[in-house]
Amino acid sequence: MKQESHVKREGFSSSIGVIAAVLGSAVGLGNIWKFPYVTGANGGAAFILVYLLCLALVGLPVMLSEHLIGRNTKSNAVGAFKKIEPRRPWFLVGGAGVLSAFLIMAFYTCVAGWVYAYIFKSASGVLLTNKPQETTQVFNSLVSGVGEPLFWQVVVLLLTGAIIMAGVTKGIERVTKVLMPLLFILLIVIDVRSLSLPGAAAGLSFLFKPDFSKITVSAVLAALGLAFFKLSVGMGAMITYGSYVDKSENLPKMAVKVALSDTLVSLMAGIAIFPAVFAFGFKPDAGPKLLFIIIPTVFNSMPLGRIFMVLFFILTAIAATGAMLSLLEVPIAYLTEQYQWSRRNATLLTILGIGLIGSTATLSNSILSKVLIFGKTFFDFYDFATSNVLLPLGGIFIALFVGWQWGYANVKREMTNEGQLANEGLFQVYRVLVRYLVPIAVAIVLLAGLNVIHF
């Protein structure tokens, strides 16, 4: 086999392992928590269509670009740009990615903490009710506390840190390979139950019958941001993971597989949630708490609901953990490779930093709720600044880098595995996307969504 001898660098061990890890990064709270609530807040089906368009035309080419850069350089997000173009400051794109990883982790660990807490709450039975007020009450009392949500956030950080420190690939590859299919099966079970609730049809039409009057400029920016966040692109996580991928992998094929499976999981989460939203008289635009107040009602109305609910939150916690590993790996690969830190020290410093910033996100539902940055709480600010600003910006520069800086022949060589893959046509389409469509379209949506330009 074309096995290279990487002296120090670990790599994924098999094609299945690569898919599991990359999909493990993509699938996470983004599918189960964020996709439903952002879709709910932006009017449903029409938003989903815009989202799918962003995913195919922007998210996918950026993901492929990152994999190409990573695999070619076998470097972390900063080092990769330095290797290809040492004389120009492209490495700043990787630097911004490291920053994004911190900011995403700040609110991601907060929500993951809620999920961990919900494993125990569902086991205890307090969530088994079909009264919206009661599930809302349980959620509010969790997030508006101080000690409890902080405790869970720390648990999340320590656990994720421990897995990372142990060396990612063996543990996470093995775990995700088994548990991802399990999450999938459980989602099917919940979907069936949710769909058979009386009044479920309204939820389905919300999900699948587009009403284009709901599409505003800020909804388009939200869809674009969600596409970046979902696929873990625009910040170097996929450069980092790409750097662990073997030369023989078919990268375009892999990116398509990952994007399709990821989308399927999101849609299934939508089908789990929206029929219940309408059946139980909730509003679809409840925001970040949507998952936490709706899902219990579905389980409550199903036999063995308590057991299934515990299982559901365990699997969600695992999906979130897989995604967090890739987020953590960005600063850790950077610190260990650029500054020769030990993996242990890099991990400890990183989780400490995330813990400090992350506590402001967690407390923004309680004692820091009055502190606003650009009119947003810390939690909302980190979320908005990353998904809707930093990731799209990163995406623009990554596309520009591959499209205009790296060189036609170099990109082609990497994408065709040194000419072994016959994907010339695909390469030409990809090239047009990264040279023109991605940078121009993302720039327009970004500027319009941020109100810098008006239509």
- Binding region for ligand PFF (CB under 6 A): 25-26, 28-31, 104, 229-230, 232, 235, 237, 323, 326-327
Note whether 181 and 348 are within 8 A (CB): no
Nearest CA among 415, 339, 324, 329 for reference residue 79: 339
Going from the C-alpha of 249 to that of each of 71, 135, 233, 424, the distances in angstroms are 10, 46, 19, 16
Cα distance between residue 291 and residue 412, in whole Å: 43
Give the amino acid at 11: G
Number of Cβ within a 10 Å radius of residue 245: 22
Note whether 50 and 215 are within 8 A (CB): yes
Give the amino acid at 378: F
Least distance CB 150 / ligand PFF (angstroms): 22
Least distance CB 97 / ligand PFF (angstroms): 8
Q: What is residue 443's DSSP assignment?
A: H
| Complex with ligand PFF: residue 135 or 232, whichever CB lies closer | 232
Which structure tokens are listed for 90?
Answer: 């492209």
| Complex with ligand PFF: residue 28 or 449, whichever CB lies closer | 28
| 83-90, long-range: CB < 8 A, 24+ apart | 84/401, 84/405, 84/406, 84/410, 85/401, 85/405, 85/406, 88/405, 90/397, 90/401, 90/405
CB-based closest residue to ligand PFF: 30
Cα distance between residue 12 and residue 241, in whole Å: 9
| Complex with ligand PFF: residue 44 or 59, whichever CB lies closer | 59
Cα distance between residue 271 and residue 38, in whole Å: 14
| Complex with ligand PFF: residue 31 or 297, whichever CB lies closer | 31
Least distance CB 240 / ligand PFF (angstroms): 8
Least distance CB 229 / ligand PFF (angstroms): 5
Least distance CB 311 / ligand PFF (angstroms): 19
| Complex with ligand PFF: residue 132 or 225, whichever CB lies closer | 225
Least distance CB 119 / ligand PFF (angstroms): 18
| Complex with ligand PFF: residue 29 or 311, whichever CB lies closer | 29
Give the amino acid at 182: L
Least distance CB 22 / ligand PFF (angstroms): 10
Give, for 119, the enclosing helix (H) or strand (E).
helix 91-124
Number of Cβ within a 10 Å radius of residue 2: 9
Query: DSSP labels for 281-320?
Result: T--TT-GGGHHHHHHHHHHHTSTTHHHHHHHHHHHHHHHH
Least distance CB 139 / ligand PFF (angstroms): 20
Number of Cβ within a 10 Å radius of residue 199: 13
| Complex with ligand PFF: residue 25 or 416, whichever CB lies closer | 25
Least distance CB 105 / ligand PFF (angstroms): 9
| Complex with ligand PFF: residue 105 or 197, whichever CB lies closer | 105
Least distance CB 199 / ligand PFF (angstroms): 29
| Complex with ligand PFF: residue 103 or 415, whichever CB lies closer | 103
| Complex with ligand PFF: residue 219 or 327, whichever CB lies closer | 327
